Amino acid sequence: MDARDALCDDAKKTEQRLQAALDDARLSDAVPVLDGFEHALVVPSDSGVLDCAPGLARALDRLARFPGPVLLVAHIEDVRGVRLAPQLTRRLRFSMPIGAPDAKLRAAVWRRALPSSVPLDADVDLNVLGRRHELLPASIGRAVLDGAARAAARGGNVTHGDLDAAAAREAKRLRGDHADALDRLFV
């Protein structure tokens, strides 16, 4: 579940959405994952201590009462020096910073994300893509889909240029740089 979809200014709606997701997870014997939890964190003062946005305490209590594990994933650029507020940490059993993969691991992710059935041109160099684009695995997966879809629409093999351009678009999307989005809609 995307935290931006579940968490909102209305505490009652937030609780209802979380409860529905937790009920679904319980019925399917799944582990709920709340991705994008950084949107629920605020720094209320100059202390630099991360705390929950106002109104989320009851929602966190509901997550804490779930009978199994619940994963809260916060994408924080630099976790060095980040401190969580005591009222937040008391609700967490574990906190584990996971760093971004290095270039060698990103190249391996590119390999795994590309199914063997995808026709690749000989110019595709996944090591170069791993070095050039500092993307997380989910973003690499989106870039693979984007590049393969464009190659399929063209009726050709996936080229290094397809994947390189798709990775650049994904990086731009992650930066929130959508200035030319309207222009592309009407081309």
pLDDT in tens, 84-104: 767 677 777 777 777 778 999
- As a whole number of Å, the end-to-end CA separation of the chain is 33
* C-beta separation of 144 from 152 below 8 A: no
Contacts of 144 by beta carbon, 8 Å cutoff, 6+ apart: 110, 113, 114, 163, 166
Cα 48-51-57 angle, rounded to 5 deg: 170
Whole-model pTM: value is: 0.56
Place of tokens 């026709």: 119
pLDDT tens profile 147-174: 999 999 999 999 999 999 999 999 888 7
Distance CA 162, CA 164 (A): 6
**Residue-range domains of the chain with CATH:** 3-89 (no CATH), 103-175 (1.10.8.60)
